[in-house]
Amino acid sequence: MADLSINMCGIKSPNPFWLASGPPSNCGEQVMRAFEMGWGGAVWKTLGKPIVNVDSRLGAVDYSGTKMMGFNNIELITDRPLDANFKEIYEVKRRYPDRAVVVSLMAESKEEWREIVQRSEDAGADGLELNFGCPHGMCERGMGSSVGQEPVVLEKITSWVMEYAQTPVLVKLTPNVTDILDPGVAAVRGGGNGISLINTVKSLIGVDLDTLFIKPTVGAESTSGGYCGPAVKPIALNMVATLARDPRITVPISGIGGISNWQDSVEYFALGATSVQVCTAVMHYGYRIVEDMIDGLNNYLDEMGMKSVNDLIGKAIPGFVEWGELDLNYDIVAKIDASKCIGCGLCYISCLDGAHQCVHTNKGQCYAYHGEPDHGFNPRIEVSAPIRHQPKNGDLAHVPFIDEKECVGCNLCMLVCPVPDCITMEEISHSKGKESWNDRVARGLV
């Protein structure tokens, strides 16, 4: 089996799966139960001056039968006494010395940072995570994302912490910025040993249609909160990869956002993450999901011929380029496997109304543009017309077919098809060679 152990800027753990700072890492009993299940590390729920949380603090978006596709919270940092947290951190490290215990921190003044850093390390923390990402409640007090959105402030506070810290420091970034590189570079300049991202996306989860109250509702009121769960994974992947490919980011990255299974984690590792942190999926399914994550990652690495998870880190980054570098001569077309088609017509409708009108039925009809232009608009009408490419599906009249000359390779028909591998995209061989937009600009063609 592959070696899953990692060294995240000096923080070692037997596998790269960590609990993210949040409700699943709120107390020692929870973290120890997670470690029993196999988690390699945990980032303790953010410590600072304990606050009072509100009741009714979570909301979710369900989609097409999937519960909690998107998740929202208006919960703040710990509401438990600091003394209790530090005693439990000490006990967790005593019982599980091989697991990574990272303590998330938030403070207002330089003196408060000094005190809480020293107390966390005295309790046995393997590392610290600076919470510069919380988008609600704490930011109104000058902390959380209000720091993460100001690179100069972020750099300054990180440098304060680095004066006191004896253990590795991760800087947790907010996604609520225009360019993630600005705070990322500031974190490195401030001396941070690593970066973790993303924290939650500022959001309103929805409105109760019966009461017209915003959810989650506190009495008759609510506020914007932090969005997470599977829905934010594409946002997080983009930000992780953006940092990982930039030469100014010289520290390791801990990836966070929508991770529910081993496949999600592989994507993060391939895009530059050294560890991954999970919160929403644990709140949904419990700690035991880590067993499948460990087994799945092990099997994947074995199948790929990789001896260590470290062999996977950053493997996809060379393929992450700007749009202007993409090959304009690369051509693909859709292919339909008639033996698998169930005749639902989704590919036909989606291409007709939402793409490029190149999927047709075998009923002898197609859609064509007709008539003279009228104020720039050509009405499209259904007409009986010879089909340029006759069906190749024999008597399977329910099976659509592709006009390959019109197909632009957009993937839409494949994406809407409910049958696995019924529609595939196949490359068309060509001899033109690779040519990008930037190449054309350089040659003066555009």
pLDDT(338) > 80: yes
Average pLDDT over residues 317-332: 96
* pLDDT, tens digit (0-9, with 9 covering 90-100), for 372-404: 444 443 444 343 333 444 445 444 678 999 999
Segment holding 415, helix H or strand E: helix 412-416
Sequence-distant (≥ 6) Cβ neighbours of residue 293 within 8 angstroms: 17, 261, 262, 265
Average pLDDT over residues 246-267: 98
Q: CA torsion, points 301, 304, 309, 313, in degrees to nearest 10? A: -140
Helices (H), 11-150: 28-37, 82-95, 110-122, 145-148
Task: Tell me how far apart the alpha carbons of residues 280 and 73 are, in angstroms, rounded to a whole number.
Answer: 10
Q: Could you tell me which residues are beta bridge partners of residue 44?
A: 103
pLDDT(224) > 60: yes
DSSP E strands: which ranges in 199-269?
201-203, 206-207, 214-215, 225-228, 253-256
Maximum CA extent, the chain: 81
* Residue 378 or 212, more confident: 212
User: What DSSP string runs through 235-284?
Assistant: HHHHHHHHHHT-TT--S-EEEESS--SHHHHHHHHHTTEEEEEE-HHHHH
Task: Tell me how far apart the alpha carbons of residues 263 and 259 are, in angstroms, rounded to a whole number.
Answer: 9
**What 3-state DSSP class applies to 337?**
coil
* 174 backbone dihedrals φ, ψ, rounded to 5°: -90, 145
CATH number for 6-319: choose from 3.30.390.50, 3.20.20.70, 3.40.630.30, 3.20.20.20: 3.20.20.70
Active-site annotation holds for 351: no
Q: Which fold has domain 324-442?
A: Alpha-Beta Plaits (3.30.70)
- Residue 196: pLDDT band (50, 70, 90) is very high
Tokens of 380: 């499209």
pLDDT(347) > 80: yes
Domain ranges of the chain: 6-319, 324-442
Average pLDDT over residues 154-159: 96
Q: What is the pLDDT of residue 190?
A: 98
Residue in 134, 358, 407, 413 annotated catalytic: 134
Does residue 102 contact residue 41 with C-beta atoms inside 8 Å?
yes
* pLDDT, tens digit (0-9, with 9 covering 90-100), for 28-82: 999 999 999 999 999 999 999 988 889 999 999 999 889 999 999 999 899 999 9
Average pLDDT over residues 183-196: 98
Does residue 185 contact residue 171 with C-beta atoms inside 8 Å?
no
For the beta carbon of residue 377, count every other beta carbon within 10 angstroms: 8
In the block, residue with structure tokens 């039968």: 65
Query: Based on the number of CB atoms within 10 Å of its own CB, is 109 exposed (0-12), middle (13-18) or buried (19 or more)?
Result: exposed
User: Which of 82-91, 144-153, 202-211 is least confident?
Assistant: 144-153
Average pLDDT over residues 404-427: 96
- Residue 363: pLDDT band (50, 70, 90) is low
* pLDDT, tens digit (0-9, with 9 covering 90-100), for 99-122: 999 999 999 899 999 999 999 999
Q: What is the pLDDT of residue 314?
A: 98
Sequence-distant (≥ 6) Cβ neighbours of residue 445 within 8 angstroms: none
Q: What is the pTM of this model?
A: 0.91
pLDDT(143) > 80: no
Q: Could you tell me which residues are beta bridge partners of residue 365?
A: 384
Q: What is the pLDDT of residue 137?
A: 59
User: Which of 94-103, 140-149, 152-161, 257-266 is least confident?
Assistant: 140-149
**What 3-state DSSP class applies to 121?**
helix
pLDDT(18) > 70: yes
